[in-house]
Amino acid sequence: MKILIAEDNVVSRRVVETQLTKWGHEVLSANNGTEAWEILQANDAPPLAILDWMMPGIDGVELCRRVRERTNQLYTYVILLTAKDRKEDVVKAMDAGADDYVVKPPDPSELQARIRAGCRVIELEQRLIETQEKLKVQATHDSLTGLWNRSAIFDILDREIGRAKRNETPISIGMADLDHFKSVNDAFGHIAGDTVLREVANRMRSVIRDYDSIARYGGEEFLIVFPGLDEKDAIDAAERIRLSISEKPLVIQEGVVPVAISIGVAVMNPTTKAGQAESLIRLADEALYTAKAQGRNRVEPKKE
C-alpha cells in the first residue's frame, strides 16, 4: 500500500517511515501540512495517510476536512497522530473526517493494526469499484461482441445529434446487416455463428475512427454513428467497413466462412427541423433495404 506520513518532527517521522517500509509499504513523506495537501491532491495520491494533528501550514484536522470535501477522487483513509486523547478531541477529529487515530508516540503493534484495518477498507473499496465498472460494462455492452448495446447506442446517437445541431455540423449513421447469415448458422452451427459475429465486430472496430461508435443492434445487425461526416465521407467510411468484412473470408475452427455485409447510410442535415434518432434510423433502414434489394454486399445512402 502507498502511504503518506506527514509529521513535522523529523525523528518521529523517520521512526514511522522505517516501520512502514519494514511492513512492506511504499512511503511518501511530508514535513508539514502544506506539503501533505499537495501530495494528496495528485492523481496518484496515496490512498492511506497518517497525519500529525499539530503541523505547520495546515494541521491534521484541517487536512481531514479538505480531503473529505473533495468529490472527484477516490477515498483516502486517514489516521491522525495526536498527543491528545480526551474524548472531545477524538470526537473533533472524527467529525473532521478522520477514520482512526493513534496516540503519540505510536506503539508499533497498535499502529500496524490500525494500518491493516485501513488497508482492508481501501481494498474493499477497490473491489466495489471494479464490480461497479463490470456492471456498467454489462449494462452498456453486448456480451457476445463487446460492442455497445442497443440502449447505449441510442444514448450516444441522441447526444451526437444534439452536438451536431448546436455546432451545425453533419452527422451520419450506418445500418449494417450481414448477408445470408442464416446460411452460416445452418452450415456451421450457432457456435460458429457466434465466432463469426465476434470477428466481424473486431474487423469493423479496426476501421472506424476513435470517436465513431458501433453497436450490435440485434442479431447480425449493427448500427454505426459517424459524428461530423457528410454523405460522401459517411459512404467512404461505410465502404471501408464493407471491405473489411468482404475482402477476406473468415477462417474459424469449423472451416472457411465467406462473409459479406450490406450497409444503409443516412445523413442528417443539422439545419432542418427534423433529425431525431428515430428518423435517422428509419432512413438508414430504408437505405439498407435498398442495398439488399440491389444485390447485397454494397453501401446505399439516403439523405434526410
Torsion of CA 268, 157, 227, 230, to 10 degrees: -20
Whether 220 is a known active-site residue: answer: yes
For cell 454494397, the residue is: 298
Distances (CA, A) of 102 to 56, 82, 174, 185, 241: 19, 6, 62, 66, 62
For residue 102, give the nearest of 5, 33, 10 by alpha carbon: 5
Catalytic position from the list 17, 35, 160, 220 = 220
**Residue that has been written with the C-alpha cell 475452427 in this structure:** 253
Laid out side by side, the sheet with 2-6 consists of 26-30, 2-6, 48-52, 77-82, 100-103
| Residue 242 in grid coordinates | 464493407
Under a CB-based contact definition with an 8 Å cutoff, are residues 159 and 152 in contact? no
Q: Return the DSSP state at 106.
A: P
- Catalytic positions are 220
